[in-house]
A = this chain, B = another copy of it.
């Protein structure tokens, strides 16, 4: 913050007006090309760097966006943060990152504190009450990811179709009793996944047992694994890959083999690109969601809030090594034909991310 040259100093040095120097950076087309060149040369030489605060104060545009996540250490978020940051950078925007630690109060405070100093906010997996969210959306430019409150600008990573594909797959393998092991109860994604499992199961005569890992950590899931194994299910769909791994850790300790004894499908595809064993899961395009959010904030910069929108990106089932036929070579009942041809949610075998 010391000794940095300012526009005024540059101007003095060159014997021209500050406004000319300013224009050389912001509206070069208004200036004689040679003037622009001269200014740029001098700026470079002097090591001039524009002061964002002054610019922001003068223009009212902050040149930054805020990104608020519940827990950056949860592997779901880093790729999202990365994509948002990269895209924002392309657009000349900086990003403020804040972590709410899953605490709604902290989240609310962070939103209020950040809002005035940024062009807009991206709030991921908000744990705030719907009423509060709507309120915030009214007065701030904010894009929500994975939180579905009507009349707000929201981007949803929809895994319902892919879950149906997963269930179809499991069903084709002979599984009839499956477990859904949920995560954070306040999470939109959790509710969505849970009801996708319920609805499909009801429609196709699958029996589903419900479990919930709260908090949604490896350890909580591991602690649950015995009850899951004892429940008589032959397959489990986990809220996310961390929970899937926790379950598998518990299964391994108990001598339950995956996928021979039990099939496991995770969700979010956060770990398979860095972790062994190769987990079957549902890949979700967090990168696209992040970019859409950044784009939304950078569009029509004047407005005081974003107009309501509901944008969906669908996930896809990725089959790797943790699903297999039900063990006691039981009755591979014929399924309704449509089950063999899922209409949505493509299936693929691969490793890698598409963000």
Contact = CB atoms under 8 A, between A and B. Distances in A.
B116 A51 contact: yes
Interface residues of A, number: 62
A53 interface: yes
B86 A246 contact: no
Chain A interface helix/strand/loop/mixed: mixed
B57 A86 contact: no
Contacts of A218: 273-276
B245 A276 contact: yes
A82 B89 contact: no
A256 interface: no
**Copies of this chain, count:** 2
Contacts of A54: 53, 57
A9 B258 CA distance: 66
A79 B72 CA distance: 7
Contact of A94 (B82, B98, B278): B98
A57 B245 CA distance: 49
A61 B53 CA distance: 10
A95 interface: yes
Interface string A272-298: 011111100000000000000000000
Nearest to A222: B276
Instruction: Point out which of A77, A97, A119, A304 has the most chain B C-beta atoms below 10 A from its C-beta.
Output: A97
A271 interface: yes
A113 interface: yes
Contact of A73 (B79, B98, B101): B79
A245 B98 contact: no
Given A73-B82, A89-B98, A274-B218, A51 B57 contact: yes
A218 to B, nearest CB: 5
A266 to B, nearest CB: 11
A245 B94 CA distance: 34
A117 interface: yes
Contacts of A117: 51-53, 94
A347 interface: no
Nearest to A71: B82
B61 A85 contact: no
12 contacts: A1-B304, A49-B113, A53-B117, A71-B82, A72-B82, A94-B96, A95-B97, A218-B276, A219-B273, A245-B274, A246-B274, A248-B276
The 6 tightest CB contacts between A and B, nearest first, are: A249-B276, A53-B56, A97-B97, A52-B117, A245-B276, A248-B276
